[in-house]
Amino acid sequence: MASTPLREHVRSHAEDRPGVYRWLGPDGRILYVGKSVRVKSRLLSYFREETGKAARMVAGAESVNWDYIPNEFAAVVREMRLIRAWQPEYNVQHRRDRRYGFIKVTREPAPRLVPVSRVRTDGARYYGPFGQTGWLAHAVHDLALATGLRDCSADTPIHFGDQLEIFATGRVPRCIRADTGTCLAPCAGRCTTADYDGRIRLVRAFLEARSRAPLDALARGVQEAAAQLRFEYAATIRDRMETLEKLWNHLSGFRGQVDHFNFVYSVPGFGGDDRIYLIRRGRLCAELPWPKSDQARLRANDVVEEVFRPVPADRDGELEADAAAEVLLTVAWFNKRPRERKRAVAPERWLAGKGGTTRTGPGQSPRRGSAGDRVTASPESPPLSPTIR
């Protein structure tokens, strides 16, 4: 199909409403996936390109098709899922080969900090995802140095100072960090269980963006080293501070616990096609029409209860790269749109009849919930921070 007939096909059949479109090559291979709140206008704009990637794509396209989506949020998620599934050659954003990082606080007698690329259901705590992973291992190492947590192997024997041992002998640390004061050395009994647990709580507070204590301690270290004229050591601590400051900025900017990023999100749709989206741990798990009757509300409540029902650990699955990508996309959507966050309510509030507001169109009044109760936007919004439990 030449570009002129293709343009006429778009002009005759497409509408200016939200949707996701796909450009296809002669063999039916998907060349590009995109989304727009006005599909017709967006597609016609491609034919005005005379040079560049868009012009080459249109010249090589055999056809273009599209699906109408009720609203922009659903179109954004649909676009990302299609790109990651099909890997079109002209798409750059949302490519599958992008990796995400997490900081894992292990579940051990003396927990460690470990940079990992996926979340497992092993009882540990995970903080992330981090879109850029090149610096994460270095940041984790510096955080361990700053807080005294061990970074030795998992099979290192642990002997806390308050641990009863019948045949106790003098133990020697397994590495030099104990002598340099950057590790509490639980391998050699140089700290108690309470001492180490206290540091773990401090680290978790930092990773949850609740406390800057490690940074404050490093700042004091810089001052003390400078006062002692140990300028090279002060510079080393300052470099460590810069790394942890970058980590803190990511953590505090990403706000909210991903594991508690659970809510019902109501969105007005094109032509009155209003929807509710059930988002669990940052992922879109279900989509439903806005309930217009008491019976529809009861059916929606059944789905809400099912989606947010506690899941046994062995069925919870792993948070792979695809899931991390969707978490980042969802969080970015709400961070950039504070008004949309007001439409999101906790599942408990929805089930109590306090669901968010939708409108059938500009200037129209909010719909009513079950039993004729007025449904208003909740001022509450789920907290955002990057911890996954």
Cα angle, residue 314 at apex, residues 310 and 316 outer, rounded to 5°: 50
Given the DSSP bridges, would you call strands 63-68 and 19-24 parallel, antiparallel or unpaired? antiparallel
118, 129, 213 from 320: Cα distances, Å:
5, 10, 31
pLDDT at residue 261, as a whole number = 81
Structure-block tokens of residue 61: 């396209």
Q: Which residue has the tokens 């079950």?
A: 370
The answer to whether 388 and 102 have CB atoms below 8 angstroms apart is: yes
| DSSP string of 129-176, one letter each residue | EES--TTHHHHHHHHHHHHT---S-TT-----TTS--TT------SST
pLDDT at residue 96, as a whole number = 60
- pLDDT tens digits, one per residue of 155-198: 999 989 887 765 556 678 889 899 888 999 999 999 999 999 99
pLDDT at residue 378, as a whole number = 32
Distance CA 56, CA 329 (A): 29
Rg (CA), the chain: 27
The answer to whether 207 and 387 have CB atoms below 8 angstroms apart is: yes
pLDDT at residue 258, as a whole number = 62
Spans of the chain below 50 pLDDT:
1, 256-257, 313-317, 360-389
Nearest C-alpha neighbor of 131 from the set 101, 164, 109, 106 = 101
Distance CA 203, CA 205 (A): 5
Which residues, listed in sequence order, are joined to residue 280 by a DSSP beta bridge? 283
Phi-psi region of 159 (alpha: psi -120 to 50; beta: other; left: phi over 0): beta
